[in-house]
């Protein structure tokens, strides 16, 4: 998992509340569990004017010119600014997979659905919950080329005008993101203890480890 430390990123505004996971990555794309390759299908029903299917080549698909991520000024955006209850709906982990694969590293919103929020940290995304009035100010300030600097270690967001906004994050989740640790990598930090346990277990119950 890619570590998150300091991000100076272009911001794309998604001025919608209650964006559910089926909008983020529609159900037909859940057949794959590869964790990669979902970026082209992010917000598929909003980005494209036709119906998307898994493994479809999106290069020449007709795009919705009114959708924010199709606009030239937001190409390469790494920060998504959204409204309340982002990531609601089903608990599909494919949603943060698609966002991360598209290129987003952080999402700012007044609130997130709990399961989606947890899944973000497990997949290298930083979800930042800010008060609704602060999010509203960011939407009003946002213009072409608007960038924010997010410092996870300091837990601050710096606006183009130099204003500093602090945000809260659980220390355990912060540690995981700063060090790029997913669930497997976190477990492997205890590889020596796991190996010692297995060795002791083999001594106490050797029949469990006998080759057939």
Tokens standing for residue 170: 């659980």
Range of the domain at 92: 6-181
In a domain, 208, yes or no: no
Whole-angstrom distance, CA of residue 165 vs CA of residue 169? 13
CATH code: domain of residue 124: 3.20.19.10
* pLDDT, tens digit only, all 212 positions of the chain: 889 999 999 999 999 999 999 999 999 999 877 778 999 999 999 999 999 999 999 999 999 999 999 999 999 999 999 999 999 998 889 999 999 999 999 999 999 999 999 999 999 999 999 999 999 999 999 998 999 999 999 999 999 999 999 999 999 999 999 998 877 767 766 677 777 787 788 788 888 777 75
Residue ranges in the chain assigned as alpha helix (H): 21-24, 44-47, 94-102, 114-122, 132-141, 171-179, 183-188, 191-204
Whole-angstrom distance, CA of residue 205 vs CA of residue 33? 36
In a domain, 197, yes or no: no
Q: Check residue 153 and give its pLDDT.
A: 97
The count of structural domains within the chain is 1
In a domain, 68, yes or no: yes
Q: Check residue 193 and give its pLDDT.
A: 78
Backbone angles phi, psi at 129, to 5 degrees: -95, 120
Q: Check residue 106 and give its pLDDT.
A: 98
pTM: 0.88
Tokens standing for residue 106: 């952080």
Q: Check residue 36 and give its pLDDT.
A: 85
How far from each other are the two terminal CA atoms of the chain, in whole angstroms? Answer: 37
Q: Check residue 65 and give its pLDDT.
A: 97
In a domain, 1, yes or no: no
- Determine contact, residues 209/202, Cβ cutoff 8 Å: yes
Q: Check residue 188 and give its pLDDT.
A: 66
In a domain, 143, yes or no: yes
In a domain, 137, yes or no: yes
């Amino acid at each position: 998992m890619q570590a998150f430390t300091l991000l100076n990123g272009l911001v794309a505004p998604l001025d919608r509340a209650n964006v559910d996971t089926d909008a983020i990555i529609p159900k037909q794309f859940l057949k794959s569990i590869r964790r990669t390759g979902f970026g082209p299908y992010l917000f598929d029903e909003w980005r494209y004017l036709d119906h998307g299917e898994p493994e479809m080549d999106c290069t020449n698909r007709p795009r919705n010119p009114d959708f924010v991520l199709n606009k030239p000024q937001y190409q390469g955006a790494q920060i998504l600014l959204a409204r309340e209850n982002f990531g609601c709906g089903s608990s599909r982990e494919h949603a943060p997979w698609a966002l991360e694969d598209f290129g987003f590293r952080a999402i700012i919103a007044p609130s997130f659905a709990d399961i989606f929020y947890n899944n973000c940290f497990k997949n290298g995304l930083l979800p930042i919950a800010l008060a609704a009035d602060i999010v509203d100010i960011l939407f009003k300030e946002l213009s072409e080329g608007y960038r924010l600097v997010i410092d996870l270690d300091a837990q601050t967001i710096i606006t183009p005008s130099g204003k500093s906004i602090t945000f809260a994050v659980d220390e355990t989740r912060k540690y995981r993101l700063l060090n790029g640790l997913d669930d497997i990598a976190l477990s492997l930090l205890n590889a020596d203890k796991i190996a010692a346990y297995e060795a002791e277990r083999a001594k106490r119950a050797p029949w469990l480890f006998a080759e057939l």
